[in-house]
Structure 1
Amino acid sequence: MCRCLLLGLVVLGLTGCASSQQKPIPDDPFYAPVYPDTPVTRTAPTGSIYLDSQATSLYTDLRAHKVGDIITVVLTESTKAKKSAGNQVKKATDVNINPLYLGGNNLTIKGNPLDARYQDSMNTNRESDADQSNSLSGSISANVMQVLANGNLVIRGEKWITINNGDEFIRVTGIVRPQDITPDNTIDSPRVANARIQYSGTGTFADAQKVGWLSQFFLGEWWPF
């Protein structure tokens, strides 16, 4: 009875945790773009059809540098991890008791000499290997959300693509240095500090690849057996 009650509580807890996780949705307010305020300019009428506020210099830097600007992040992520471990334990025990003598004669039991020998050995050899690699390529445009006191830019953006029965999305957040932005207003993802890059999907195909909550319990660290 106690085991059934305990298992029921665990199932309810896992169900509650699974239901509390929010699925990503498009137009998340956290990734909403920032629109800069239109500056108010006061110009004296000169009769000219060109205004100084609308003029653009040929030497103007078009790279992102203020809130609301757009910067393109080129995703060139590649990771590889490899681990190998080995463990070998050997142990041997050999105890030999020669025939015992008493008064110059061998001690016997029913005519058999009294001696003993014990021999034991153990050899354990364990090996484990792990090899994992991941890569992500593409590009995503992000908004400049904040300009820090040292001039670095806080960027954030997302891209949603609807394919067949599901949606795929890419999200990126991080901090970039203006010096790392190329003249064509792009930056490689390895140069984004404190980067958070998320590539996933929602829908039928994404749900089919997920492990159920009961399987997660039996495969997780909470399963005692």
Structure 2
Amino acid sequence: MTRQLSSLTSRLALLTLSLLLTACASSPHQPMPDDPFYAPVQPEQRVEPVIADGSLFQTRYADELYSDIKARRLGDIITVRLQEQTTASKSAATNTSKSSSAELAAPTAFGRPITIGGNPLSASLSGDRQFQGDGGADQSNRLVGDITVSVIRVMPNGNLIVRGEKWMKLNTGDEFLRLTGIIRPQDISSDNVIPSTRVANARIEYSGTGALAQVQEPGWLTRFFNSSWWPF
């Protein structure tokens, strides 16, 4: 009896440990402000020699007469206008059926059917199978707003890799918006704005932290039952 209790206690301890490990593995990383990954890149301070040509005007320090304000260098900032809208709908229906039957005639012996109690020996088998399944899904998302990001890298072909985040504290929670992607300088408007539909390899994240965000997430035990660890 003592051995059985000890074995049962060990199994319960292992089950509890696996639940805790699953909960830790399934819990998402909590975002925090001032994440170094989204921090703007500081361009290197280059000290260029001043050429003494007898003039106060230096060409390398002046803006061209026809230059614009578009982002094109490392550390420049650009405004991305979010115009994301997606709609998806899917439905499926499946119906299958199958019927089968078989009959075994009464066996004979010496030309006469074999009977038991005057009844001939015979058998028959029949079966029906039917399956019906329906499924459907509808989803619609819309995100509108502006976020200003910085250029973190200038690619050899002139494209710009941008990245940035925006944090807003609203009541008891924080709302954050993050964006990374690649843009073409030709797609930037004259006021240094580009629509999000023109951002290649875009990664847009909009979520929140705090009490309001926590109550919308299932508990660790619910996540365990909904995960692939639960065999049923």
Task: Give the TM-score normalised by the residue count of structure 2.
Answer: 0.83
Equivalents in 1 of 2:83, 2:25: separation in Å? 34
Match of 2:97 in 1: 90
User: Of residues 37, 56, 69 in structure 2, which corresponds to 1:62?
Assistant: 69
Q: CA deviation at 1:143?
A: 0.5
Provide the rounded CA distance (Å) in 1 between the counterparts of 2:106 and 2:153: 90
CA contact (8 A) 2:181 2:199 kept: yes
Aligned match of 2:157: 150
Q: For residues 100 and 18 of structure 1, what CA distance do their matches in structure 2 show?
A: 65
- Tell me the CA shift for residue 44 of structure 1: 6.0
1:180 counterpart residue number:
187
Higher mean Cα deviation, 140-149 or 25-34? 25-34
Please, which moves more after superposition, 78-87 or 102-111? 102-111
What is the CA-CA distance between 1:203 and the residue it aligns to? 0.9
Correspondence 1:63-78 to 2 at 5 A:
63-78=70-85
DSSP-derived class of the 1:11 partner = helix
Q: Secondary structure at the match of 2:68?
A: coil
Q: Distance in 2 between matches of 1:65 and 1:8?
A: 55
Q: Which residue, out of 1, 14, 21, partners 1:6? A: 14
Could you tell me whether the CA contact under 8 Å between 1:41 and 1:53 is conserved in 2? no
**Unaligned segments of structure 1, at least 5 residues:** none
Instruction: Classify the secondary structure of the residue corresponding to 2:217.
Output: coil
Q: State the identity %.
A: 47
CA drift of 1:15 comes to 4.6
CA distance in 2, matches of 1:14, 1:84: 33
TM-score under structure 1 normalisation?
A: 0.85
Contact 2:153–2:161 (CA under 8 A) maintained in structure 1: yes
Size of the aligned set, in residue pairs, is 223
* Cα distance in 1, alignment partners of residues 216 and 146 from structure 2: 25
What SS does structure 2 have at the residue aligned with 1:14? helix
Unaligned runs of 5+ in 2: 1-7
- Residue by residue, what CA displacement relative to the aligned partner does 1:63-118 show, whole Å, maximum 9, x if unpaired? 11001211111111122333333333322111223455555654432122333222
4+ long deviations beyond 4 Å: 38-41, 43-48, 50-58, 98-106
